[in-house]
């Protein structure tokens, strides 16, 4: 009720967030696990006195640098840009509450950049022991970055005692902090194996390629032993209402959750399949198939996690449409248009029905619903509805329709919104 | 419509306002210097491509050899050093900057894509230098244009942020495509940044020349002189652009920032003095003196810039100032991380510079 709303009706902002965020987490987790992969594989090269493995690590580091430091870092920046456009009020809460968390994460990021550049540029020009120290420093600080970000991201789903105390530490070490940290760490290690397959399947020497492919499969598969229990733990610590939302068969998220469950063994088994002695071109092609599977896997996890928050953007504190839970009764009493700073019409009148309805749709619905777009298409959701039926949906919001916040407006606003959706948008 | 009605209420600050202000000014100065070096480096590479076309082929080749391998790293550092000022800006002026970026959302969101492309362009230019052949200059042209676009979008957002009078245009156009052309200050403000980048590109070239000269490389001295001349002439030209910048500020802003605010006026006069010194040092081939006075100029200009910003927002800030509820332990975490992180970076640099034996494999 505090900020303007970016008019993205057809496309829907949710799709933009999903695309940017999934691309980012897919690379950002690799930036963590891949760091450990680099040092452990370099140690393997020294232990086995095999220069070819060392050459492989060097080539993989270049790939790692170009993927994580450019694409990974900047898509992270992209998430910041898109969330501040789509949910400025929630972004502002995250920024103000965790400013020193973000600032700390930035320091870790500086060390990451410095260590990774030095690691890459001093390959074969530094004593192995020191070079490994640089690699370890990279990994430790990359994981510490994950540690900090994890505290803030998990806060949004389970703010815990923060709701009463507003204390940084209560928000940071929130109920899902541990489960989320373990889960993400194991995902990161598994992704290191998947990215490793992209480069190891390109090794020319047949015997070495098979060895390294199996080595990467070990990275891919072994973390699953702990990844599955940590996912279970994660599910156990989220609010029961959130569990109900992600298991509601009428919602898209239920399908996504099922896809996640199917992909867990599928990814594991597809990884094991790579241990067979297969032709090089097939291995190369299949490594990309694994990559896509892993992308969808991680994307489905993030989507389930995001959906679990519904109808909130910060659970129990701020609804998806940026209305504070504590403000809702007052907003309902006074009316959305009167309370919203960025509403042109301050009340619904017979003369401004259409314009007010459009404003209400922007203020209350556009944060989750697209108009004819891919995500939560309002036209599809309201297909065939009469004004009375739509009105009863608005009435059930926050109760029967638990994934949506309670309708925040007054009687006239409800009618104006219903007419806008059914008579203007559906025209 | 009264724009002050549109200003969102601010969120609670966990530390005093002045502390974030100090952090903002300090980190923004560092970011601005690095952004200048990045864009200036790109422009120098383009100048090198131009030289290679004529009879000064070897000069152009040298410029490429000196600058191209470092450009991707300067982009990485610019992005990295851009994070803290954007963070502290959002802490102090979040209720202004979120609105301004929303009004130009399409361009604002494009920024990270443009930087990714500029970044890969810089890598491509360096790594595939020979293989790119005739298309090589175009790769750098595109990278530089992308950087220029990013700079323009930042200028635009920071200007919209300080001028709530333009905010009500949202009610006629909410697609997020506002460029604040109605403010005459937009172009001079942006040019100020671009010219500063050319100067800093020259300065970095001068310092590289000095370093090469010290190592005994024959062309070091010439590179140094050429770079410092670029710095000096660009900075002299900057006086014209700066005058245009001041001249296009709204009267009440200029009066408030410069004439009624003694501290800001003093800062401005000092910055002019350091800028003049840097030009003189540049013309007399003293790279480090030039660098120190140039950095001091940027620092004082940043201070003056914030005085201008506060003058713009003067009538809006009192009502929009945030409440402070101190939470000092997270700040202690940040300070500990900063000290620890700095120590680790110093250690890493020591390891990197220590001549080592390569592996026996």
Residue A108, pLDDT > 70, answer yes
Q: What is the pLDDT of residue A75?
A: 97
* Cβ contact, residue pair A127, B338, below 8 Å: no
Chain B residue with the nearest C-alpha to that of A71 = B116
Chain A residue with the nearest C-alpha to that of B1 = A344
A4, A5, A111 member nearest B344 (Cβ): A111
Helix (H/G/I), strand (E/B), else coil: A251: coil
Q: What is the mean pLDDT of residues A279-301?
A: 95
* Mean pLDDT estimate for chain A: 94
The pLDDT confidence band at residue B22, using thresholds 50, 70 and 90, is very high
Q: How far apart are CA A40 and CA A42, in angstroms?
A: 5
User: Quick check: bond before B88 cis, omega within 30?
Assistant: no
Q: How far apart are CA A361 and CA A394, in angstroms?
A: 12
Chain A residue with the nearest C-alpha to that of B347 = A134
Residue of B26, B158, B143 whose CA lies nearest to B103: B158
Q: How far apart are CA A387 and CA A421, in angstroms?
A: 9
The pLDDT confidence band at residue A10, using thresholds 50, 70 and 90, is low
The percentage of chain A sitting over the pLDDT mark of 90, rounded to a whole number, equals 82
> How many angstroms away from the CA of B44 is the closest CA of chain A?
23
Residue A161, pLDDT > 70, answer yes
* Cβ contact, residue pair B358, A82, below 8 Å: no
Chain B residue with the nearest C-alpha to that of A98 = B330
Residue A319, pLDDT > 70, answer yes
Q: What is the DSSP letter of B322?
A: P
In tens, the pLDDT along B310-325 reads: 999 988 887 777 899 9
> Which residues are registered as beta bridge partners of A312?
A319
Instruction: Phi first, then psi: give them for residue A401, nearest 5 degrees.
Output: -90, 75
A84, A91, A106 member nearest B83 (Cβ): A106
Chain B residue with the nearest C-alpha to that of A102 = B87
Half-sphere exposure of A251 (CA within 13 A, CB side): 22
C-alpha B301: how far from its chain's center? 12
Instruction: Give yes or no for a contact between A1 and A339, defined as CB atoms under 8 angstroms apart.
Output: yes
User: Which residues on chain A are in Cβ contact (under 8 Å) with B115?
Assistant: 74, 77
> How many angstroms away from the CA of A22 is the closest CA of chain B?
15
Q: Name the burial class of residue A145, with classes exposed (0-12), middle (13-18) and buried (19+) by CB atoms within 10 angstroms of its CB.
A: buried
* Cβ contact, residue pair B109, A16, below 8 Å: yes
Residue B8, pLDDT > 80, answer yes
Q: How far apart are CA B319 and CA B4, in angstroms?
A: 9
Within 39-98 of A, beta carbons closer than 8 Å to B belong to 45-46, 49-51, 54, 66, 69-71, 73-75, 77-78, 80-82, 84-85, 88-89, 91-93, 95-98
In tens, the pLDDT along A332-354 reads: 999 999 999 999 999 999 999 99
Report the range of poorest mean pLDDT among A293-307, B51-65, B235-249: B51-65
Q: What is the mean pLDDT of residues B89-107?
A: 96
B112, B176, B354 member nearest A77 (Cβ): B112
Q: What is the pLDDT of residue A425?
A: 86
The pLDDT confidence band at residue B204, using thresholds 50, 70 and 90, is very high
Q: How far apart, in Å, are the Cα atoms of B14 and each of B93, B156, B330? A: 14, 29, 9
Q: How far apart, in Å, are the Cα atoms of A237 and each of A30, A179, A199, A307, B340? A: 25, 8, 38, 15, 33
**Is the pTM for the entire model greater than 0.80?**
yes
> How many angstroms away from the CA of B341 is the closest CA of chain A?
6
User: Which residues on chain B are in Cβ contact (under 8 Å) with A5?
Assistant: 102, 174
Helices marked H in B215-325 — which ranges? 220-247, 251-254, 262-283, 287-312
* Cβ contact, residue pair A96, B11, below 8 Å: yes
The percentage of chain A sitting over the pLDDT mark of 70, rounded to a whole number, equals 99
User: Which residues on chain B are in Cβ contact (under 8 Å) with A87?
Assistant: none
Residue of A82, A97, A113, A117 whose CA lies nearest to A318: A97
Residue of A175, A160, A99, A168 whose CA lies nearest to A314: A160
Chain A residue with the nearest C-alpha to that of B93 = A92
Q: Which two tokens stand for residue A70?
A: 């450019």
Residue A124, pLDDT > 80, answer yes
Q: Position of tokens 């992005």?
A: B79
Q: What is the pLDDT of residue A134?
A: 98
Residue B52, pLDDT > 80, answer no
| Angle CA A238–A243–A245, to nearest 5 | 130
Q: Position of tokens 């059930």?
A: A396
Integer distance in angstroms from the first to the last C-alpha of chain A? 28
> How many angstroms away from the CA of B255 is the closest CA of chain A?
31
Helices marked H in B104-135 — which ranges? 105-127, 129-132
Residue of A212, A196, A221 whose CA lies nearest to A48: A212
Q: What is the pLDDT of residue B36?
A: 97
Residue A147, pLDDT > 70, answer yes
* Cβ contact, residue pair B113, A78, below 8 Å: yes
Q: Position of tokens 């569990």?
A: A243
A88, A124, A137 member nearest B102 (Cβ): A88
User: Which residues on chain B are in Cβ contact (under 8 Å) with A95?
Assistant: 11, 87, 90-91, 94
Q: What is the pLDDT of residue A392?
A: 85
User: Which residues on chain A are in Cβ contact (under 8 Å) with B38?
Assistant: none
Q: Which two tokens stand for residue A324?
A: 């504070």
Instruction: Give yes or no for a contact between B33 and B200, defined as CB atoms under 8 angstroms apart.
Output: yes
Q: How far apart are CA A406 and CA B217, in angstroms?
A: 73
Chain A residue with the nearest C-alpha to that of B335 = A104
> How many angstroms away from the CA of A112 is the closest CA of chain B?
9
Q: How far apart are CA B266 and CA B272, in angstroms?
A: 10
Chain A residue with the nearest C-alpha to that of B5 = A341
* Cβ contact, residue pair B359, A91, below 8 Å: no
Does A104 lie at the interface with B, CB-CB under 8 angstroms?
yes
Residue B361, pLDDT > 80, answer no
Chain B contact probe: residue of A85, A135, A155 with most B CBs at under 10 A? A85
Q: Look at phi and psi of residue A12 and say left if phi exceeds 0, alpha if psi is from -120 to 50, else beta.
A: left
* Cβ contact, residue pair B351, A121, below 8 Å: no
Size of interface A-B (CB pairs under 8 A): 208
The CB-based long-range contact list for A205-209 (8 Å cut-off, 24+ gap) reads A205/A52, A206/A280, A208/A52, A208/A53, A208/A56, A209/A280, A209/A283
* Cβ contact, residue pair B333, A100, below 8 Å: yes
* Cβ contact, residue pair B174, A5, below 8 Å: yes
Does A10 lie at the interface with B, CB-CB under 8 angstroms?
no
Does A282 lie at the interface with B, CB-CB under 8 angstroms?
no
Residue B60, pLDDT > 80, answer no
Q: What is the mean pLDDT of residues B232-260?
A: 94
> How many angstroms away from the CA of A95 is the closest CA of chain B?
7
Q: What is the pLDDT of residue A79?
A: 96
User: Which residues on chain A are in Cβ contact (under 8 Å) with B99?
Assistant: 3-4, 88
C-alpha B50: how far from its chain's center? 25
Within 317-356 of A, beta carbons closer than 8 Å to B belong to 341-342, 344
Helix (H/G/I), strand (E/B), else coil: B128: coil
Residue A329, pLDDT > 80, answer yes
Helices marked H in A238-371 — which ranges? 240-246, 252-273, 280-308, 328-334, 336-339, 353-364
* Cβ contact, residue pair A106, B84, below 8 Å: yes
Q: Position of tokens 């390569």?
A: B358
User: Which residues on chain B are in Cβ contact (under 8 Å) with A71?
Assistant: 116
Q: What is the pLDDT of residue B359?
A: 64
Residue B59, pLDDT > 80, answer no
Q: What is the pLDDT of residue B87?
A: 98
Within 194-253 of A, beta carbons closer than 8 Å to B belong to none
Instruction: Give yes or no for a contact between A226 and A215, defined as CB atoms under 8 angstroms apart.
Output: no
In tens, the pLDDT along B129-142 reads: 778 878 888 999 99
How many residues in chain A?
Answer: 427
Does A129 lie at the interface with B, CB-CB under 8 angstroms?
no
Does A130 lie at the interface with B, CB-CB under 8 angstroms?
yes
* Cβ contact, residue pair A95, B90, below 8 Å: yes
Q: What is the DSSP letter of B324?
A: B
* Cβ contact, residue pair B11, A84, below 8 Å: no
> How many angstroms away from the CA of B241 is the closest CA of chain A?
31
């Amino acid at each position: 009720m505090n900020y303007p709303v970016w008019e993205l009706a057809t496309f829907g902002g949710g799709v933009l967030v999903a695309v940017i965020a999934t691309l980012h987490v897919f690379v950002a987790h690799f930036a963590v696990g891949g760091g450990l992969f680099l040092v452990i594989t370099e140690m393997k090269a020294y232990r086995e006195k095999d220069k070819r493995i060392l050459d492989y690590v060097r080539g993989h580091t270049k790939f790692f640098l170009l993927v994580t430091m450019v694409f990974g870092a900047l898509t992270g920046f992209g998430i910041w840009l898109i969330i501040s456009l789509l949910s400025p009020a929630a972004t502002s809460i995250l920024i103000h509450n965790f400013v020193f968390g973000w600032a700390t994460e930035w320091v870790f990021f500086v060390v990451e950049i410095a260590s990774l550049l030095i690691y890459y540029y001093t390959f074969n020009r530094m004593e192995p022991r020191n070079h490994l120290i640089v690699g370890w420093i990279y990994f430790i600080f990359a994981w510490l970055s994950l540690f900090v970000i994890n505290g803030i991201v998990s806060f949004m789903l389970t703010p815990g005692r923060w709701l009463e105390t507003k204390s940084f530490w209560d928000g940071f070490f929130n109920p899902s902090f541990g489960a989320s940290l373990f889960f993400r760490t194991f995902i990161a290690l598994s992704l290191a194996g998947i990215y490793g397959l992209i480069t190891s399947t390109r090794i020319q020497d047949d015997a070495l390629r098979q060895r390294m492919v199996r080595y990467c499969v070990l990275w891919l598969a072994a973390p699953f032993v702990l990844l599955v229990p940590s996912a279970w733990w994660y599910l156990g610590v989220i609010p029961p209402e959130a569990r109900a939302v992600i298991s509601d068969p009428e919602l898209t998220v239920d399908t996504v959750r099922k896809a996640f469950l199917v992909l867990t063994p599928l990814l594991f088994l597809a990884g094991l399949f790579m241990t067979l002695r297969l032709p090089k071109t097939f291995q190369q092609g299949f490594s990309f198939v694994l990559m896509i599977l892993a992308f969808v896997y991680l994307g489905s996890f993030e989507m389930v996690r995001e959906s679990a928050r519904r109808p909130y953007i910060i659970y129990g504190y701020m609804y998806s449409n940026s209305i504070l839970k504590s403000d809702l009764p007052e907003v309902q009493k006074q009316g959305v248009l009167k309370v919203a700073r960025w509403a042109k019409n301050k009340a619904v009148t017979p003369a401004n029905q259409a314009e007010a309805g459009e404003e209400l749709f922007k203020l209350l619905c556009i944060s989750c619903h697209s108009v004819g777009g891919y995500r939560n298409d309002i036209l599809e959701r309201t297909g065939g509805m009469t004004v009375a039926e739509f009105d009863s949906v608005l009435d059930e919001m926050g109760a029967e329709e638990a994934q949506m916040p309670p309708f925040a407006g007054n009687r006239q606003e409800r009618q104006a919104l219903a007419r806008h959706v059914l008579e203007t948008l559906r025209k | 419509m009264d724009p002050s009605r549109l200003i969102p209420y601010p969120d609670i600050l966990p530390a005093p306002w002045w502390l974030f202000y100090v952090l903002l000014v300090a980190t923004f100065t560092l970011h601005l210097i690095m952004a200048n070096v990045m864009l200036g480096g790109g422009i120098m590479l383009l100048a090198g491509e131009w030289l290679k076309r004529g009879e000064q082929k070897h000069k152009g080749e040298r410029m490429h050899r000196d600058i191209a391998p470092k450009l991707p790293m300067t982009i990485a550092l610019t992005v990295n050093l851009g994070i803290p000022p954007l963070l502290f800006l959002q802490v102090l002026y979040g209720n202004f900057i979120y609105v301004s970026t929303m009004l130009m959302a399409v361009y604002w969101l494009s920024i990270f894509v443009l930087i990714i492309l500029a970044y890969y362009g810089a890598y491509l230019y360096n790594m595939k230098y020979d293989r790119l052949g005739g298309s090589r200059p175009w790769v750098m042209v595109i990278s530089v244009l992308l950087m220029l676009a990013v700079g323009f979008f930042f200028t635009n957002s920071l200007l919209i942020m300080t001028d709530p009078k333009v905010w009500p245009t949202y009610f006629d156009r909410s697609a997020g495509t506002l460029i604040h052309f109605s403010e005459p200050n937009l172009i001079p403000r942006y040019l100020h940044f671009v010219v500063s980048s050319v100067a800093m590109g020259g300065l970095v070239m001068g310092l590289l020349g000095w370093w090469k000269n010290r190592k005994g490389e024959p062309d070091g001295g010439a590179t140094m002189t050429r770079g410092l001349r670029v710095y000096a002439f660009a900075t002299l030209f900057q006086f014209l652009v700066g005058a245009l910048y001041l001249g296009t500020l709204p009267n009440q802003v200029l009066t408030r920032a410069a004439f009624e605010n003694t501290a800001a006026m003093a800062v401005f006069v000092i910055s002019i003095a350091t800028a003049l010194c840097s030009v003189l040092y540049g013309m007399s081939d003293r790279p480090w003196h030039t660098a120190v006075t140039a950095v001091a100029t940027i620092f004082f200009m940043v201070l003056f810039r914030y005085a201008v910003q506060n003058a713009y927002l003067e009538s809006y800030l009192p009502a929009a100032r945030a409440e402070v509820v101190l939470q000092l332990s997270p700040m202690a975490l940040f300070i500990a991380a900063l000290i620890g992180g700095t120590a680790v970076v110093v250690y890493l640099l020591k390891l990197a510079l220590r001549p080592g034996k390569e592996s026996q494999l």
